Amino acid sequence: MSGLGKLRVAVIGAGAAGLCAARHLLSRPDTFAPPVVYEVTKNIGGTWVYEAKVGYYDNGLPIHSSMYRDLRTNIPKEVMSFPDFPFAKHLSSFVHHTEVRKYLEEYCHHFRLWDHIQFGTTVASVTPVRVKNGWNGLAWNVTSNNGLDLSKSTTERFDAVMVCNGHFYDPYIPTIPGLEKFKGTLMHSHDYRSAEPLAGKSVVLLGAGLSGLDIAMELSNVDAKVILSHGQHPLTCPLPSGVQQAPPVTAVLDDGSLEFKDGKRAKPEVFLMCTGYNFTFPFLDEKVGVKVQEHLVWPLYKFLIPPAYPSLFIVGICRAICPFPHFHIQSQFVLSVLDGSFSLPTREEMEKDIELDIAARRARGISTRHILKLDSEQWAYNDQLAQLGGFQPLPRFWSNLYESNKVFRARDMLNYKTYNYTLLGEMEWAVHNLHGQQ
């Protein structure tokens, strides 16, 4: 604790991660002052706030959400939920995105978060300051603007900052030689909303991640002729009719056709990139030293904490994870660091830990761009944070159902969302309550 009484924590973003951070901070009034949650839009929910239009909001800010109209979740609600707040009972396991937004709004009501969110407020800069009485001799100046109005900026001082600004909004476009020569419609999945505008068209869809596969299925339902171009070629799971596979696009030729790695060519009407997103922290002072390189954000101890400035926390940057439970664990770990129940190692020790961890991942053949993809390792990571921070780990049910769903999805891409785990979830919840773990 700082010598200044209760710790003041700023939270940047009111998406699922920021709400979760606020929920935990508010649960500890002994140690933490009510947080200030800065949110650039007028809504909570981030990714889950569907916008039918693309480009910019009326106030000139870029549209944040990459949600598309018909999206249903790819994780069953039984384990997608925060472990202390289940989705409504009547819903089936794979819910429409509107239900997730409602769920997050209910979470906000239940944990009384609304009053702590400053809507329409953009965090423009986050700067560390050395102070005598601060937590670890450190404090943070957070400067925010009302929308785009730079003349009306205010700066507040905090003991710590939790960065929860999301990482699915700044499209990543891979370097493809000759891309400017493509004459058809070039778009990124960030701007994909529904299949109808592409009905009957020829489409090369680059990237077979979860969004790529989902969108390929939507397009096949409107008779688009889809070539799914990707690096894991060929996928062995059954794909929808009308979807062919191809290796990655390597170049765009002078006549505007796309060339694939195997030398074959196609001249589609639409080139749709489902190639993921960039991490960006435009507000973060350079001296904090957090860098983004080939989709790796580093140096961060436990993928959260820059060793030189250990009262800043970047929450939710890991990929291929079960996001809400992951935020739940990370948020509690942050609290355990700030309240002293977990004593951070020294700066040098944390730097060494990061170095060794990255080296070990590289030695296992993981390229830099995939280091943040935790996948099945997420459970050991979560358990470790819970153990270090001295709080309840996730019940095994979370990893069991999440991992099973992954297997079913890979085997049965076309139908896995029709499976239903609601009874299983209710049983788990009953056991959970019986043990008083709520």
Count of other CB atoms within 10 angstroms of residue 102: 17
CB-based contacts of 251, cutoff 8 Å, min separation 6: 176, 177, 178, 258, 259
Residues β-bridged to residue 162: 11, 313
- Of the pair 47, 311, the CB lying nearest ligand FAD is at 47
Nearer to ligand FAD, 123 or 297 (CB): 123
Of residues 2 and 13, the one with the C-beta less far from ligand FAD: 13
**By CB under 6 A, is residue 15 in contact with ligand FAD?**
yes
**Residue 406 CB-density burial (10 A; 0-12 exposed, 13-18 middle, 19+ buried):** middle
Q: Which is nearer to ligand FAD, 126 or 243 (CB)?
A: 126
Selected range binding ligand FAD among 146-154, 160-168, 261-269, 378-386, rule: CB under 6 A: 160-168
Minimum distance of ligand FAD from residue 436's CB (angstroms): 27
Q: What is the DSSP string of 287-342?
A: GG--EEETTEEES-BTTTB-TTSTTEEE-S--BSS-HHHHHHHHHHHHHHHHTTSS
Q: How far is CA 284 from the centre of its chain?
A: 18
Select the span of 158-166, 233-241, 246-254, 427-435 touching ligand FAD (CB under 6 A): 158-166
Among 50, 41, 93, 410, residue whose Cα is nearest residue 194: 50
Nearest in space to 104 (alpha carbons), one of 190, 168, 17: 17
Give the shortest CB-254-to-ligand FAD separation in angstroms.
Answer: 34
Tokens read off for 278: 């960039």
Per rule CB under 6 A, count of chain residues that contact ligand FAD: 33
Nearer to ligand FAD, 2 or 332 (CB): 332
Per CB under 6 A, which of residues 70..129 are in contact with ligand FAD?
71, 73-75, 80, 122-123
Closest CB 229 distance from ligand FAD, rounded Å: 19
Q: How far apart are CA 109 and CA 115, in angstroms?
A: 10
Asked whether position 275 contacts ligand FAD by CB under 6 A, the answer is no
**Residue whose C-alpha is closest to residue 350's, from 299, 398, 416:** 299
Q: Which is nearer to ligand FAD, 23 or 64 (CB)?
A: 64
Considering only residues 287-326, where is the footprint of ligand FAD by CB under 6 A?
316, 323-324
| Closer to ligand FAD by Cβ: residue 136 or 153 | 153
d(CA 384, CA 84): 19
Nearer to ligand FAD, 169 or 391 (CB): 169
Q: How far is the CB of 406 from ligand FAD (least distance, A)?
A: 12
Distance, in Å, from the CA atom of 165 to the CA atom of 249, rounded to the nearest integer, reads 31
Q: Rule CB under 6 A: choose which of 93, 165, 330, 336 binds ligand FAD.
A: 165
Between residue 200 and residue 219, which ones bind ligand FAD under the rule CB under 6 A? 211
Contact set for ligand FAD, span 21-60 (CB under 6 A): 38-41, 46-48
Radius of gyration of the chain from its Cα atoms, rounded to whole angstroms: 22
Please report, for residues 40, 47, 65, the alpha-carbon distance to residue 100 in angstroms, rounded to integers and kept in the order given.
Answer: 20, 10, 13
Q: Which residues bind ligand FAD (CB under 6 A)?
A: 12-18, 38-41, 46-48, 64, 66-67, 71, 73-75, 80, 122-123, 164-166, 168, 211, 283, 316, 323-324
